[in-house]
């Protein structure tokens, strides 16, 4: 390749022969054929590529397959070279040959030096254009983050819906139990039960309420024996009463005591009253537990978002991690993730709790993805130097190759398909830790043990 190959190309209008020779001397000719990969999406844009002839496709990864986003089919079309102006510049798409041809590859550093010498204004202009590209990409990231927020909200709604539905079902069942309770009282009164008999019947009920639950293996046998006895005595709905009485550990001795308190005419009503009372106790406990769970979730969300607290505050790091685990509970239960906690004695530190919770969210979500939903998530905290805190979040996934681990904190670098992840890259997590809290974040990874270690100061500098 020589200057005559470049002269007809409009991109090089205004460059003299000596300048074209300098450009050629700095670069190299790269022939390609159909299907050949020239550069890959996400890699450092260390070279500037100019099409001389042939056709090249530009391809981006999607969640399911590759998508063609552009085509270089006119000589002079160019791509890459972004590191001439921005150190973290990466290729925004992969390039592969479609029809045989040639490209001129010029190192980004050489392109920067030549551009600064030949047309400094143009060099500044290109830097500005790439800055705009970064802005557009950042805006797209924010959109993804909002979509992820929607997923977290949907997961949290599912978490709240379960206890809410349980409380609703228990409330309806409690109403039916109360109706049966009052109806049985009416029947007992109609049968002329005395005050002494009712007091004795209530004593039998209290005795059952105070008994420990039977052993798990004994419940089925106890239920079967009670059902047979009740059927033999002509009791209606014995299949409903027997499980309730068995769960309360009603045995043969208790049944004999009941027979001494009420006669055959009042047996049905007496059992209805006892069983309804027991059901009411169980249902009220279920409602209490369900509403407690809802209250815990609401408190966790308030702690997670930190909307009701000042920006810079004294905080307990473990508390923030726990609220994050609760909010991400649906993710942990999608597969089979075991969470192992090792919270050491740590001091309270000053920090931005809401921002740190976003860091924990991103790291934990990445760990769950790395394990494909199955494995052990280990979280530990310990006191750090100078009154700070060290947090380690580890997973048992396959680990990160050294080249991926080295780039994990780069802006816009990801190994996930489109639509996956939290929308908060590790580069942003690093900025939160370093710039907002004066701390550090690092990765140690081997197969089966990937650890992200976050060190936080006692208070942000300045």
Contact yes or no for 426/387 (Cβ under 8 A): no
pLDDT score of 453: 95
Instruction: Tell me the angle at which helices 252-261 and 264-305 cross, rounded to the nearest 10 degrees.
Output: 120
Q: Which domains does the chain have, with CATH numbers?
A: 3-118 (2.60.120.10), 155-297 (no CATH), 309-456 (3.30.565.10)
Judged by DSSP in three states, 327 sits in helix
Task: Read off the tokens for 166.
Answer: 């349980």
What phi, psi does 460 have (nearest 5°)? Answer: -60, 145
CA-based nearest residue to 305, from 326, 285, 275: 326
Collapsed DSSP state (helix, strand, coil) of residue 397: coil
Q: How far apart are the first and last CA of the chain?
A: 57
Question: 199-207 — which CB contacts under 8 Å span 24+ positions?
Answer: 200/261, 201/258, 201/261, 201/262, 201/270, 201/273, 201/274, 204/254, 204/257, 204/258, 204/261, 204/274, 205/273, 205/274, 205/277, 205/278, 207/254
* Residue pLDDT tens, the chain, 462 long: 888 889 899 888 888 889 999 999 999 999 999 999 999 988 888 999 999 999 999 888 765 567 777 888 999 998 888 777 777 778 888 999 999 999 999 998 898 888 888 876 665 566 666 666 655 555 555 565 555 556 666 666 766 777 788 788 889 889 999 999 999 999 999 988 899 999 999 999 999 888 888 887 778 888 888 888 888 888 888 888 888 888 888 888 888 888 888 888 888 999 999 999 998 988 898 888 888 777 777 766 665 555 444 467 889 999 889 888 877 777 777 678 899 999 999 999 998 887 888 889 889 988 988 898 889 999 999 998 888 999 999 999 998 888 888 888 776 556 554 434 433 467 778 888 888 888 999 999 999 999 999 999 998 886
What is the rounded distance in angstroms from the CA atom of residue 61 to the CA atom of residue 94?
Answer: 9
Residues of 401-433 as b/e, b for ≥16 C-beta within 10 angstroms?
Answer: eeeeeebbbbbbbbeeeeeebbbbbbbbbbbbb
Q: At what angle do helices 108-118 and 120-190 cross, to 10 degrees?
A: 130
pLDDT at position 151: 60
Q: Residue 308: its pLDDT value, please?
A: 45
Residue 68 forms beta bridges with which residues? 59
Q: Are 160 and 297 in contact (CB under 8 A)?
A: yes
pLDDT of residue 14: 81
The tokens for 446 are: 């081997």
DSSP assigned state of 183: H
CB 367 within 8 A of CB 448: no
CA-based torsion, 210, 211, 212, 213: positive or negative: negative
pTM above 0.85, yes or no: no
């Amino acid at each position: 390749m020589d200057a005559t190959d470049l002269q007809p190309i409009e991109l090089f209008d205004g460059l003299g022969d000596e300048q074209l020779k300098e450009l050629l001397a700095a670069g190299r000719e790269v022939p390609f054929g159909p299907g050949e990969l020239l550069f890959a999406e996400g890699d450092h844009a260390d070279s500037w590529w100019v099409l001389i002839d042939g056709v090249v496709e530009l391809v981006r990864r999607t969640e399911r397959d590759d998508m063609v986003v552009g085509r270089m089919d006119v000589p002079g079309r160019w791509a890459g070279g972004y590191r001439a102006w921005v150190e973290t510049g990466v290729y925004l798409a992969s390039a592969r040959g479609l029809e045989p041809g040639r490209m001129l590859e010029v190192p980004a550093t050489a392109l920067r030096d030549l551009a600064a010498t030949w047309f400094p204004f143009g060099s500044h202009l290109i830097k500005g254009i790439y800055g705009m590209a970064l802005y557009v990409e950042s805006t797209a990231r924010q959109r993804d983050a909002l979509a992820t927020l929607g997923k977290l909200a949907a997961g949290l709604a599912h978490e709240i819906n379960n206890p809410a539905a349980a409380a609703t079902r228990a409330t309806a069942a409690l109403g039916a139990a109360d109706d049966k309770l009052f109806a049985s009282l009416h029947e007992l009164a109609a049968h002329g039960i005395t005050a002494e008999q009712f007091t004795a019947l209530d004593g039998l009920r209290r005795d059952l309420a105070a008994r420990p639950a039977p052993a798990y293996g004994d419940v089925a046998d106890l239920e079967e024996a009670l059902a047979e006895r009740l059927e033999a005595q002509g009791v209606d709905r014995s299949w409903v009463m027997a499980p309730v009485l068995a769960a309360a550990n009603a045995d043969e001795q208790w049944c004999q005591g009941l027979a001494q308190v009420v006669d055959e005419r009042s047996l049905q009503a007496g059992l209805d009253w006892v069983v309804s009372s027991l059901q009411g106790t169980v249902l009220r406990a279920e409602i209490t537990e369900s509403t407690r769970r809802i209250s815990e979730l609401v408190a966790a969300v308030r702690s997670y978002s930190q909307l009701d607290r000042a920006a810079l505050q004294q905080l307990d790091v473990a508390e923030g991690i726990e609220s994050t685990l609760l909010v991400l509970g649906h993710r942990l239960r999608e597969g089979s993730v075991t969470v192992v906690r090792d919270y050491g004695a740590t001091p309270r530190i000053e920090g931005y709790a809401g921002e740190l919770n976003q860091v924990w969210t991103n790291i934990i979500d990445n760990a769950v993805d790395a394990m494909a939903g199955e494995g052990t998530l280990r979280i530990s905290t310990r006191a750090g130097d100078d009154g700070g805190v060290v947090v380690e979040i580890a997973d048992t996934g396959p680990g990160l190759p050294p080249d991926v681990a080295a780039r994990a904190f780069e802006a816009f670098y990801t190994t996930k398909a489109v639509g996956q992840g939290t929308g908060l890259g590790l580069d942003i997590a690093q900025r939160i830790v370093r710039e907002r809290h004066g701390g550090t974040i690092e990765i140690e990874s081997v197969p089966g043990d990937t650890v992200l270690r976050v060190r936080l100061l006692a208070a942000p500098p300045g």
